[in-house]
Structure 1
């Protein structure tokens, strides 16, 4: 049996739900005998009140819970900025938590905030949750009447609003752009190959090659998984030595910075011999040297859209479930020719 609910207790004693509720809240309307009987039963069976359920069902906190997987990606900071801006405009506060890519932490945060502290969630799944494919905590939250809007890393089986990046076409268009600007040997460097967004970017890269008539070469795909950032260069320097490469697409900015540094250390001039383009358009891109060409994911716009959808749902302005795809743009700077 799952968690004991007020309904179960009511059934046990053949009384109404409101009687149980009043007994547990020590209301003077209920006789002492009934009260102690119900309270004792609840205690013995580890009954924990689900605040969502009864008393707070109609109470709104005007607060949104935000869960992001990591603090280390500028993209998530941009999304947060967009959420906060829209929430404030519409009179909502936000509570932000970091799951640190951990499934357990994510479950804990959701349990902690679902006790009536917030009206709804905007979240991006932790890496571990996606790998485990454990989505029950999302399902239960939604079933308990707390809506969730997912962004970027979303759980396909969960029926909720989603905001995603057009990862596939983002990569495809970048390959076509590199080809048009004279590149023939285009590598793909991924730090997300075990995540859906990483898969989509790789598929887009393959399709892009096919579209321009370049052969796909397994050797030109580098998967750097769960490695510390400091190790990226050490992996890429030998990669450049073994393969003749004139263009690199990376799934994130730190990998792109490493790709540029490894290129320079291998005696390649950027962008004369090697063009580097990264997904996500953040601080690193603007301050790297040379300045980095990026596939901009419009994090702020993503955050604004997520907040608007959640608040509209909370205010009953829309009920249908939507998936919005945010198109990417190529922001051309100095790391590509």
Structure 2
């Protein structure tokens, strides 16, 4: 009980700083160590409290820089308040739902959205689903209760049936424009901004094939269309270069088993005589895990084995091995999404229903020629 009291005390105090104006939007707050000393609690308690405040939209994190106050006016914890309980709306409000909000490439996408919308007098309400269908339902319900004027959303698990379609149809019936980013639900044929992930999968595999690699393993997430399309490009490259393809070359995983399963399956392949000479990963996060595993085997990258990530995130240059990775527009996607939703809300004319970004391969030192020693 004492732990809960301390945890809530930290949250309430930081929230009070924000609502009272002691810390302003965009301003960095104290570090975890400083907050721990200030409140006399453990770093674990501070980390829990900050994590909740990020999830609720009060704060946002920037990798390597710290934790900052969000520009939004009303956090996600208050989205379900009835309209009578809310202050009079002076500006139009745009909802933003992403699968994650404070990690990986999402801060860059959100920064692009936020910078444009706040410059144009819009308030924002953030929420994230953790790529969970039930949480997506909650987010959509609270956004509708908030009476948003428009919605930018990264949908959840687009390669499986989603029972939340009625909420999107309700948005359409209420003439609330919405735009999907990174992926989309094919059943709805919604406006969307996406990367050509099939092409990204193709050019990464083609790069390795041209370097002489034939034993290439692909690790792809299978419950969203991004992973499926990247896998399609991987397979198409094998077909285009008439290289024999074997099922063992594919390792598929889902959101629920993404922590251990792909690495366990990869480890199995290194116990056979048919070991890969190159690996293509669903994203940079997974690629970093693979690099750590390869180091445990005392394999040199790229002399013994090559590896490619996806999204060209900050992680691509975060380790000693600089990661070759497929690009992602990130900030541009956020800006374009914000421009689209403003045009739709203000009815400034007919808008294209979709835009597909063509990625390129950012070459670094994690890929090299087929090992001559093999």
Q: Report the CA distance shift for 1:305/1:251 in structure 2 as closer, same or farther (over 3 A).
A: same
Partner in structure 1 of residue 141 of structure 2 = 111
Deviation at 1:75, TM superposition (A): 2.1
Q: Report the CA distance shift for 1:210/1:60 in structure 2 as closer, same or farther (over 3 A).
A: farther
The total of aligned residue pairs comes to 280
In structure 1, C-alpha distance between the alignment counterparts of 2:311 and 2:104, rounded to whole Å: 8
2:327 is the alignment partner of 1:296: yes
In structure 2, C-alpha distance between the alignment counterparts of 1:180 and 1:60, rounded to whole Å: 58
1:305 paired residue among 336, 340, 350: 336
Tell me, yes or no, if the aligned pair for 1:97 and 1:109 is still in contact at 8 Å. Answer: yes
Task: Name stretches of at least 5 consecutive residues in structure 2 with no aligned partner.
Answer: 1-81, 369-374
2:308 is the alignment partner of 1:273: no
2:267 is the alignment partner of 1:216: no
Deviation at 1:171, TM superposition (A): 0.6
CA deviations on 1:288-311 (whole Å, 9 max, x unpaired) are 221111111111111111111111
Task: Name stretches of at least 5 consecutive residues in structure 1 with no aligned partner.
Answer: 1-49
Partner in structure 1 of residue 96 of structure 2 = 66
- Secondary structure in 1 aligned to 2:269? helix
Tell me, yes or no, if the aligned pair for 1:61 and 1:119 is still in contact at 8 Å. Answer: no
Q: Report the CA distance shift for 1:287/1:102 in structure 2 as closer, same or farther (over 3 A).
A: same
1:145 paired residue among 151, 172, 175: 175
Q: Report the CA distance shift for 1:314/1:60 in structure 2 as closer, same or farther (over 3 A).
A: farther
Alignment of 1:171-250 (within 5 A): 171-190=201-220, 192-225=221-254, 226-227=256-257, 229-230=259-260, 232-242=262-272, 243-250=274-281
Tell me, yes or no, if the aligned pair for 2:218 and 2:280 is still in contact at 8 Å. Answer: yes
In structure 1, C-alpha distance between the alignment counterparts of 2:193 and 2:139, rounded to whole Å: 21
In structure 1, C-alpha distance between the alignment counterparts of 2:144 and 2:367, rounded to whole Å: 47
Aligned-residue CA RMSD (Å)? 2.2
Deviation at 1:151, TM superposition (A): 0.6
In structure 2, C-alpha distance between the alignment counterparts of 1:99 and 1:298, rounded to whole Å: 22
Work out which of the two has the higher radius of gyration on C-alpha atoms and give 1 or 2: 1
Tell me, yes or no, if the aligned pair for 2:117 and 2:338 is still in contact at 8 Å. Answer: yes
2:156 is the alignment partner of 1:126: yes
2:282 is the alignment partner of 1:251: yes
Partner in structure 2 of residue 167 of structure 1 = 197
In structure 2, C-alpha distance between the alignment counterparts of 1:333 and 1:95, rounded to whole Å: 38
96-105 or 225-234, which deviates more: 225-234
Deviation at 1:320, TM superposition (A): 4.2
Tell me, yes or no, if the aligned pair for 2:159 and 2:222 is still in contact at 8 Å. Answer: no
Deviation at 1:120, TM superposition (A): 0.5
TM-score normalised per structure 1: 0.77
**Larger relative CO (CA 8 A, sep 6+): 1 or 2?**
1
164-173 or 193-202, which deviates more: 193-202
2:317 is the alignment partner of 1:286: yes
Tell me, yes or no, if the aligned pair for 1:183 and 1:246 is still in contact at 8 Å. Answer: yes
Deviation at 1:143, TM superposition (A): 1.3
Partner in structure 1 of residue 75 of structure 2 = none
TM-score normalised per structure 2: 0.69
